[in-house]
Every structure is written in C-alpha cells, then in structure tokens.
Chain A
Amino acid sequence: MNHWQPTASLSNLRQRARIIGRIREFFGARGVLEVETPTLSAAAVSDPHLLPFATDYLPEGGGQAQTLYLHTSPEYPMKRLLAAGSGCIWQLCRVYRNGESGRRHNPEFSMLEWYRVGFDHHRLMDEVDDLVDAVLGCGRSRRVTYAALFEQYLQVDIHSCTTDELARLGQKHCDFRGELDRDGWLNLLFSHCIEPRLHEPTMVYAFPASQAALARVVEADDRVPSAARFELFIQGMELANGYFELTDADEQAARFAADQQLRRGYQRPELPIDQHLIDALRQGLPECAGVALGVDRLVMLALGANSIDEVIAFPLGRA
C-alpha cells in the first residue's frame, strides 16, 4: 500500500548525504584522485562465492550481442588505472551482487574503494582507522590476527588442526550438518562464533593463505605464510576488506584458474576472466595496498540502524 515510499527516513537520508560529503573531503584533503570505472564489464569477477548480474549489449541496427557483467567491485579496472600510472585513487560507486539480500545485504550497494601507492596493508589499516574515525568518532581499532581470534574464541590452532576438528567445532557451535571444505568451515566458524563478538573496532589481519583472494602471501608475525589481507569489524559487522596487493601476473593468472576450478566444483557457471587485469599486472602494478568499504554499513553504524533498509531509500523489495 505504502510501498512506494522509501524505507529510510528522510532524516537518515540527509545524514547519509553528510557522511558521503565527509568521505569526499577526506580524500580531497589527502590528494587522492577520484575516479570512475565501468559498472558494465566484458569480464566477470572470479570469486567463486560471488554471483554477478549479467545483461546484454545489443548494438542498435543489429549485429552480435555481447554479454556484459555488472561489477561486484571496481577492483580490476582501478588496478588497470594504477598500472597506467594514476597514482593514489579512490572511487565511490554502486556495486551489484546477485542473490544477496538480508538485514545487512542488498543486491546493489555503495562501495568505497581506494588504493594507496607505496602503502602496505599495515599502513592502509591506519588510514582506514582515520576515515572510519572521521565518520564514527570511534578511535583506533584493535589489531589481531585471524589465527589469534580462533585461539581466543574457539581454543583451536588453525595452523595445526585438521579439517575434521574444524568440522566438529562447526557442528557443535553452529549446528550445521552439511559438508564444507576447510575454508568453508573456517568461514562458518568465523561468521557465527567470532564476528558477532567483535563489537569494538577490530582489524583482523593475516588471513589463511587459501583466502588470499587478490592479496599477496607473506610471512606474518608467527612466521606462517598468510594472506596480507585485513578486514575491519565493528559491532559484530564486517565493514571493510583490504589487501597488500598482489602484483605478480603469473600468480594472479593461477589464482583465476583456481577460482574457475572452485566454481566448477560448486556447480556455478564459469565466467570470462579479466585478461585486461593480467595484462596490466604484466605491464607492472606499483607496490600498493587497497581496500573496499561498505558505505551503507558505515552509515548504519553512524546512525545506529539495525537494518540496511533504514539507510537506503529503496531496497530490493521496493526497487
């Protein structure tokens, strides 16, 4: 009946606009260049757990139609800009992830993504703190490794434990009866038993090497090779995900191939991989760190909102 109306109050939408203004000031003051990259791309994301929307480009007057994918993040083209010599860049854009809808998810949402040339992930974590503090006034985050959190909350050493042990913990704590691979169990335990307890701003780093995504693998404090990747959690909610970026083109190509393999295993459609990114890395990506931050969730935290619907005007049900 009243479904034409926005789900977010107008006062929330005004505050949202103010927060976006503050983000723009933040990067302006630091001399980071604002860029725009295509939302429609010939290649798709390789992450086996992301489902992009697909659409068709139909040349007017006829001709071969071309399938295009809505980006799930602007990562690949932003890295191409970096390889082309852009220097530090940032972007605020709408990204699209098929099938994702819930209290903290909407299939299209606003992502803030930025890259800092010459930074590693630790230095970028500091800058993420600065940005989040500028909006939330929450101070500096606690730094803790992925493995240390498993020790703290589940009393398990993820470097030495077997997958069966992880499965037993998953069955015990989450009452989950299905089958998962090792990273699946780690994800289940992290999202159900650890994430909800990370109330104070917490920067989790040194992810398992198998969850590196587009981060380089380095030796962490405990001398175990791990992904130079971090995630920020506030009030039990994932807010940002960053990498000390992988610059090795061959390694990137190998990871794309491994993702394709996983996609086949999950019976998900195989999608075209981004050869442009590989070519850009081969040309040379400067040493840099990058991070993506969910702006809707940042606004949720700033306003104390319980649901993403309170901070976006028209979520999926009213789109």
Chain B
Amino acid sequence: MANYSTNEFKPGLKVMLDGDPCAILENEYVKPGKGQAFNRVKVRNLKTGRVNERTFKSGDTLEGADVMDRDMEYLYTDGEFWHFMATDGSFEQVGADEKAVGDAINWMKEQVVYTVTLFNGAPIAVTPPNFVELEVVETDPGVRGDTSGGGNKPAKLVTGAVVKVPLFINVGDVLKVDTRTSDYVGRV
C-alpha cells in the first residue's frame, strides 16, 4: 500500500496505526507562529471501533490500509462464524467471527444485507442497516386498546436483543427497530 503524509490525512482515509487498520475522522493542523508544526488526528480503529486522538509531526507518514466495505447478505451462523455472501453476483462468501460481528449480533437476520468491512480480505467489522425488522419472542402480554404508544415495557427479540416497546405489543409481533439507537420505530 502507498504511504500517506499528514497533509493527505483526509477524513475517510484508511491507514495502518500500531498494526491495526484505522479510519481518519478529523485532522487539525496545529502550528504555533514560532515552532514545530503538528497534526492532531482523530482516528477510529476499525477492529475495535474505538476512537483515539494521536498527534504527529507534520510530514510524518502512515502506510495505507487495504480496507474495503462490501454489501453482503447474511446467510447463517454455525455458532463460531457468521456467514455472508456478496450481493454483486460473485457469490463470494466470508465468515465473520464474534469479534468482527460485534454489536451487530443484536440485529442479525437472514437475507438482510449488511456492510462487511474487509481488511486484507478478512472481515473485521459488520454494520447493520439502519433499520431491521425482527420478531418479538418474549414480553408481558399486550394491553388491549392501548395504541397510544405512551408508557413502555421491555421486549426480547428473536436475536436476543431487548428493546423498549409500547404496552400493546405482543409476542409474535414483528417490529421495526433503529439499529443505531436500539429504539422501537413501529410494528410491521
């Protein structure tokens, strides 16, 4: 991969930092009128999702990271790996481990298309679509006639995720959920 210098650290650039692929989020040029120039850089570690700040001397370089986001359909899990297939007609398949699936494990549903982040061809992160539709498997019985949405109770979804729902929701209902906030959006 090519090397990138601090002035090429644009948001979105993927670079190697401490052996991990990272995405540049922000890059601020810091230069006193008298003295050394620095770049204060905010990066997201693409393996852990953690955001860190690092400072470089202006002109320092980092190696680019071979990182690619691909749209892939979730097929099944064998308990150890979650298997995805490319939607571009290549039928290529990859298996993501629990670490790569991360929090997306709450929102996995067969035949739904996820963004799989590949590093040197291997999955390191899975991002669910903003909304998924999942069935309720456990919740207190619904309160008949209450469709106001006021008040709420926990409901367990087929994936194991628990979301707050209005009182009228019953086991077997399929809910639309916002995966970014875990918020109930509506009944399908």
List residues of chain A with CB under 8 Å of any chain B CB: 47, 49, 99-105, 174-178, 180, 183-184, 187-188, 190-192, 195, 211, 213, 231, 238, 241, 292, 294
Contacts and interface: CB of A to CB of B under 8 A. Distances in A.
Contacts of A190: 32
Contacts of A188: 36, 38, 55
B56 interface: yes
B33 A231 contact: yes
Contacts of A177: 54
Contact of B34 (A47, A100, A104, A174): A47
A177 B18 CA distance: 11
Given A102-B31, A105-B31, A192-B30, A178 B36 contact: no
A174 B53 CA distance: 8
B40 A102 contact: no
Most buried by B among A184, A191, A192: A191
Nearest to B39: A102
B110 interface: no
Interface residues of B, number: 21
Contacts of B143: none
Contacts of A195: 32
A176 B6 CA distance: 14
B37 interface: yes
Task: List the 4 closest A-B pairs by CB distance, nearest first.
Answer: A102-B29, A187-B35, A176-B55, A174-B55
Contact of A178 (B29, B37, B53, B60): B60
A183 B38 CA distance: 13
A144 B33 CA distance: 19
Given A102-B28, A175-B52, A176-B55, A238 B60 contact: no
Contacts of A231: 33
18 contacts: A49-B35, A49-B36, A99-B58, A102-B30, A102-B31, A105-B31, A174-B55, A175-B55, A176-B56, A177-B54, A178-B60, A183-B35, A184-B35, A190-B32, A191-B38, A192-B40, A241-B34, A294-B33
